[in-house]
Structure 1
Amino acid sequence: MGQARRKEKEKQESPPEPSAGQEPLAQGAWVKPEGLSRRGWAVLVGLILVIQFPLIHYALFRGDAEVTATIPYTQDFSDPGVVTRDFFTTGGYWRVIQGELLAPGVKNNPLWLQAPLPDDVAVELDVRSELPEGDIRVELFGNGVDPASGYVLMQGGQNNSVSAIARLDLNAPTLDALQRRAQRKAESSGGAADIASVFKDDTRVKVEARGTPVQAGRTYHWRIERRGTLLRWSIDGELFLELDDPRPLKGPGNDRLGLSGFESQIFWDNLRVDTPDRLPAKVAAATPAIPPGPYADDFERDTLGDAWNVTNPAATKIVDGALVVEQLHNRPVWLKRPLPRDAVIEFDAWTDSPQGDIKVEAWGDGRSFYAGDLRLQYTATGYVFIFGGWKNTQSAIARKSEHTPDRVTRDGAAVVPGKRHHFKVTRRGDTLAWELDGQPFLTLKDATPLEGSRNQYFGFSGWQTRVHFDNLKIEPLAP
Structure 2
Amino acid sequence: MGQVRRKESEKKQESPSEPAPRQEPTASTAWVKPEGMSRRGWAVLAALVLVIQFPLIHYALFRGDADVTATVPYTQDFADPGVVKRDFFSVGGYWRVIQGELLAPGVKNNPLWLQAPLPDDVAIEFDVRSELPEGDIRVEVFGNGVDPSSGYVLVQGGFNNSMSVLARLDMGAPNIDALKRRAARKAGAQGDKADDGAKTDAADIASVFKDDTRVRVEARGTPVQAGRTYHWRIERRGSLLRWSIDGEAFLEFDDPRPLKGKGHDRLGLSGFESQIFYDNLRVDSPDRLPARVAPPAPVIPPGPYADDFNRDTLGDAWNVTNPSATKLVDGALVVEMVHNRPVWLKRPIPRDATIEFDAWTDSPDGDIKIEAWGDGRSFYAGDLRLQYTATGYVFIFGGWRNTQSAIARRSEHTPDRVTRDGASVVPGKRHHFKLTRRAGTLSWELDGQPFLTLQDPSPLEGTRNQYFGFSGWKSRVHFDNLKIEPLAP
Normalised TM-score (structure 1): 0.78
Identity %: 84
Displacement after TM superposition at 1:325 (Å): 3.3
Displacement after TM superposition at 1:292 (Å): 5.2
Contact 2:435 2:444 in 1 (8 A): yes
Displacement after TM superposition at 1:225 (Å): 1.6
Q: Equivalent residue for 2:483?
A: 473
Which stretch shifts more, 192-201 or 76-85?
192-201
Matched, 1:271 2:281: yes
Q: Equivalent residue for 1:363?
A: 373
Displacement after TM superposition at 1:250 (Å): 2.0
Q: Equivalent residue for 1:63?
A: 64
Q: Equivalent residue for 2:247?
A: 237
Which stretch shifts more, 292-301 or 432-441?
432-441
Out of 322, 347, 367, the position equivalent to 2:332 is 322
Taking a change above 3 Å as real, the CA distance of residues 82 and 309 of structure 1, as seen in their structure-2 partners, is: same
Letter in 2 for 1:207: V
1:112-151 correspondence to structure 2 within 5 Å: 112-151=113-152
Taking a change above 3 Å as real, the CA distance of residues 36 and 300 of structure 1, as seen in their structure-2 partners, is: same
Contact 1:433 1:442 in 2 (8 A): yes
1:66-145 correspondence to structure 2 within 5 Å: 66-145=67-146
1:257-268 correspondence to structure 2 within 5 Å: 257-268=267-278
Taking a change above 3 Å as real, the CA distance of residues 171 and 430 of structure 1, as seen in their structure-2 partners, is: closer
Matched, 1:35 2:14: no
Taking a change above 3 Å as real, the CA distance of residues 280 and 429 of structure 1, as seen in their structure-2 partners, is: same
Which stretch shifts more, 321-330 or 120-129?
321-330
What is the CA–CA distance in structure 2 between the aligned matches of 1:391 and 1:180, rounded to whole Å? 52
Taking a change above 3 Å as real, the CA distance of residues 328 and 187 of structure 1, as seen in their structure-2 partners, is: farther
Contact 1:382 1:399 in 2 (8 A): yes
What is the CA–CA distance in structure 2 between the aligned matches of 1:83 and 1:286, rounded to whole Å? 38
Matched, 1:247 2:248: no
Taking a change above 3 Å as real, the CA distance of residues 429 and 147 of structure 1, as seen in their structure-2 partners, is: closer
Q: Equivalent residue for 1:383?
A: 393
Which stretch shifts more, 338-347 or 407-416?
407-416
Count matched residues: 448
Q: Equivalent residue for 1:174?
A: 175
Taking a change above 3 Å as real, the CA distance of residues 376 and 100 of structure 1, as seen in their structure-2 partners, is: closer
Taking a change above 3 Å as real, the CA distance of residues 376 and 243 of structure 1, as seen in their structure-2 partners, is: farther
Contact 1:365 1:454 in 2 (8 A): yes
Q: Tell me, what secondary structure is at the counterpart of 2:124?
A: strand
Contact 1:211 1:380 in 2 (8 A): no
Q: Equivalent residue for 1:348?
A: 358
Contact 1:342 1:428 in 2 (8 A): yes
Q: Tell me, what secondary structure is at the counterpart of 1:381?
A: strand
Which stretch shifts more, 137-146 or 307-316?
307-316
Q: Tell me, what secondary structure is at the counterpart of 1:60?
A: helix
Taking a change above 3 Å as real, the CA distance of residues 397 and 104 of structure 1, as seen in their structure-2 partners, is: closer
What is the CA–CA distance in structure 2 between the aligned matches of 1:269 and 1:151, rounded to whole Å? 21
Taking a change above 3 Å as real, the CA distance of residues 58 and 407 of structure 1, as seen in their structure-2 partners, is: closer
Out of 416, 420, 430, the position equivalent to 2:430 is 420
What is the CA–CA distance in structure 2 between the aligned matches of 1:399 and 1:132, rounded to whole Å? 15
Taking a change above 3 Å as real, the CA distance of residues 98 and 401 of structure 1, as seen in their structure-2 partners, is: closer
Displacement after TM superposition at 1:392 (Å): 6.5
Q: Tell me, what secondary structure is at the counterpart of 1:85?
A: helix
Displacement after TM superposition at 1:382 (Å): 2.0
What is the CA–CA distance in structure 1 between the aligned matches of 2:403 and 2:81, rounded to whole Å? 55
Q: Tell me, what secondary structure is at the counterpart of 1:339?
A: coil
Q: Equivalent residue for 1:296?
A: 306
Q: Tell me, what secondary structure is at the counterpart of 2:65?
A: coil
Gaps of 5+ in 2: 1-32, 198-203
Normalised TM-score (structure 2): 0.76
Displacement after TM superposition at 1:206 (Å): 3.0
RMSD between aligned residues: 3.8
Q: Tell me, what secondary structure is at the counterpart of 2:291?
A: coil
Q: Tell me, what secondary structure is at the counterpart of 1:242?
A: strand
Displacement after TM superposition at 1:72 (Å): 2.4
Taking a change above 3 Å as real, the CA distance of residues 405 and 189 of structure 1, as seen in their structure-2 partners, is: farther
What is the CA–CA distance in structure 2 between the aligned matches of 1:107 and 1:445, rounded to whole Å? 36
Displacement after TM superposition at 1:111 (Å): 1.3
